[in-house]
Amino acid sequence: MTDTYTQFVNSAFGKQVAGRLGMPRPAALRRYVPGAALIDGPVLVGGHGGGPLAKRITALLGHAGVTVVDELPAGGTVSGVVVDLSAARTPADLETLRALVGPALKVLAPSGRVIVVGASPDEAADDVPLAAVRRSLEGIVRSVAKELRKGATANLVLVRRGGEDNIDATIRFFLSGRSAYVDGQGVEVGPIEAGAAVDAADWDRPLAGKVAVVTGAARGIGASIADVLARDGATIVCVDIPAAGEALAKVANRNGGSTLQLDVTAPDAGARIVEHARTRHGQLDIVVHNAGITRDKLLANTDADRWKSVVDVNLMSVLRMNETILAPGALADGGHVVCVSSMSGIAGNRGQSNYAASKAGLIGLVHALGASADLHHRGITVNAVAPGFIETEMTGKIPLATREMGRRVNSLAQGGLPVDVAETIAWFAQDANAGVTGQVVRVCGQSILGA
Ligand SMILES: NC(=O)c1ccc[n+]([C@@H]2O[C@H](COP(=O)([O-])OP(=O)(O)OC[C@H]3O[C@@H](n4cnc5c(N)ncnc54)[C@H](O)[C@@H]3O)[C@@H](O)[C@H]2O)c1
């Protein structure tokens, strides 16, 4: 459910009232529905220097049943624009982007998509103009995302050398309703081990045959992650503390999964997860570290217990569990680990130094494991989502004025839903996404906090 204000101004009566009074009208976002078209309406695809990746993108969109155009339809709209700047050599080449994307923004349909594809700036250190133009793309995307209206988003796909053939799952994610609340973000796609899959057998059930563990699955975002991973075909192991046993069983039952009552801070938590998944379901392919707590206080008033409990649950437990989960023979080769960080871990938040420490720590963990040659060799990816303001029981308890502020200060002028976080995690968990590792994607509607 979106917030009451957004629902009201999108009702027939509310639209009239909002229009007359000049009230802001956050759009109803296009969200993913299994079986629905990837995106309705034509998508304009172009690029600089022939757009070396535009050809691949045109083919994958055609395969997905999307109408691809190379110029704006006279008098019509487009639902998306994908522009390939991977061959840009100097900032002068950015004119290609302006000339293609600028006019398209005037006819972009509601919940439209702008995707800019570029090459990684990190791989241009010895060529200064090249490094400059590659980095420019981030500035453009972040600005365009702030200019878009009616639920449209803009995101950036940066391709590392050798990752050119691995972009399909990412392009599909950003075009689809799965990325409804991901805006102004950049993702790097890199090379994968030879033989790994970059195409899903069924894009509506990309996790079919996989076994996924979700911690903190009894409620909130964790319950939604379990629902979405199960919808995408995975068998789910729902983990939560014994006190949440009843709610946990409900989530597992509705998804045909199993439950594991477990405090993630237990020294043997990782071993019990691996053992449960392998004995009950025969394998372990995906682990989502979602369990988390807050114990907010200004640092000056934070005692050792508040400090320790948050760091233990949110960070230490993940480090400890990963030692077992990532040991050879536990998580399957080609498996995926996804951590749930937070915007607090990027921007910091008053009264949350313990929480921000733990969530920033997860980002450090993801960067380190994403760079691990051993995990790369085993085809294992490790990524994180960093949610912004998400409509949950937790945020429902925030005083109204602060809550309103939290949910409006982003480019989509609304809070996200647990399903938005879950969809991003499900995308990270796809085998076809094997080229994406060590990445942190904010699911925050391009919140201005920490932008
Ligand atoms: N709600 C938001 O806006 C938001 C924003 C950013 C990040 N997050 C993160 O998303 C995750 C889920 O948040 P939520 O809003 O759904 O919270 P929530 O409090 O509704 O759910 C958290 C779940 O984790 C479980 N849990 C807590 N400690 C545990 C432990 N030691 N072992 C096992 N399970 C444990 C709880 O029982 C609960 O079911 C958390 O990591 C949170 O920090 C939430």
| CB-facing half-sphere around the CA of 88: CA atoms within 13 A | 33
Contacts of 16-20 with C-beta under 8 Å, sequence gap 24+, read none
Of the pLDDT bands very low, low, confident and very high (cuts 50, 70, 90), residue 198 is low
**Nearest ligand 1 atom, CA 216:** 24
Domain boundary, last residue among 189, 221, 246: 189
* Pocket lining: 394 vs ligand 1, CB cutoff 6 Å: yes
pLDDT of residue 195: 65
Q: How far is the CA of 346 from the centre of ligand 1 (A)?
A: 18
Q: Are residues 163 and 87 in the same domain?
A: yes
Q: Which of 213, 221, 442 to mutate to test the pocket of ligand 1 (most atoms within 8 A of CB)?
A: 221
Q: Are residues 152 and 101 in the same domain?
A: yes
* Pocket lining: 167 vs ligand 1, CB cutoff 6 Å: no
pLDDT of residue 109: 97
Q: What is the pLDDT of residues 16-45, one digit of tens each?
A: 666 666 666 789 999 999 999 999 999 999
pLDDT of residue 3: 74
* Pocket lining: 222 vs ligand 1, CB cutoff 6 Å: yes
pLDDT of residue 172: 97
pLDDT of residue 449: 81
Residue 129 lies in a domain: yes
Strand partners of residue 403: none
Q: Are residues 145 and 268 in the same domain?
A: no
pLDDT of residue 196: 65
- Residue 2 pLDDT > 70: no
SS3 of residue 315 by DSSP: helix
The pTM of this model reads 0.95
* Rounded CA separation 220/236 (Å): 16
* Pocket lining: 428 vs ligand 1, CB cutoff 6 Å: no
Give the residue numbers spanning the domain of 350. Answer: 211-443
Q: Which residues are catalytic?
A: 355
Q: Are residues 256 and 153 in the same domain?
A: no
Q: What is the pLDDT of residues 139-195, one digit of tens each?
A: 999 999 999 999 999 999 999 999 999 999 999 999 999 999 999 999 999 999 876
pLDDT of residue 95: 97
**Nearest ligand 1 atom, CA 394:** 15
Q: Are residues 225 and 148 in the same domain?
A: no
Domain boundary, last residue among 140, 155, 189: 189
Q: What is the pLDDT of residues 259-289, one digit of tens each?
A: 999 999 999 999 999 999 999 999 999 999 9
pLDDT of residue 21: 62
Nearest Cα to 278, choosing from 323, 237, 233, 238? 237
- Residue 450 pLDDT > 80: no
**Nearest ligand 1 atom, CA 341:** 7
Q: What is the pLDDT of residues 402-447, one digit of tens each?
A: 888 888 899 999 999 999 999 999 999 999 999 999 999 999 999 9
Residue 22 lies in a domain: no
Residue 291 sits in a domain of what CATH number? 3.40.50.720
Q: Are residues 395 and 251 in the same domain?
A: yes
Q: Are residues 291 and 218 in the same domain?
A: yes
For residue 311 the two structure tokens come to: 């760091």
Q: Are residues 255 and 358 in the same domain?
A: yes
For residue 439 the two structure tokens come to: 């990445």
Residue 21 lies in a domain: no
Residue 143 lies in a domain: yes
Segment 371-376 shows an average pLDDT of: 96
- Residue 70 pLDDT > 80: yes
Q: Are residues 55 and 161 in the same domain?
A: yes
Structural domain count, the chain: 2
Identify the helix (H) or strand (E) that includes residue 308. Answer: helix 304-311
Residue 108 lies in a domain: yes
- Residue 371 pLDDT > 70: yes
Q: Are residues 171 and 253 in the same domain?
A: no
Residue 426 lies in a domain: yes
Q: Are residues 301 and 219 in the same domain?
A: yes
Q: Which of 181, 214, 293 to mutate to test the pocket of ligand 1 (most atoms within 8 A of CB)?
A: 293
Residue 448 lies in a domain: no
pLDDT of residue 6: 75
- Residue 1 pLDDT > 60: no
Q: How far is the CA of 417 from the centre of ligand 1 (A)?
A: 14
Nearest Cα to 40, choosing from 223, 171, 175, 139? 175
pLDDT of residue 263: 98
Residue 19 lies in a domain: no
pLDDT of residue 400: 86
Q: What is the pLDDT of residues 90-104, one digit of tens each?
A: 999 999 999 999 999
Q: How far is the CA of 189 from the centre of ligand 1 (A)?
A: 29
Q: Are residues 338 and 268 in the same domain?
A: yes
Q: What is the pLDDT of residues 286-298, one digit of tens each?
A: 999 999 999 999 9
Percent of the chain scoring above 70 in pLDDT: 95
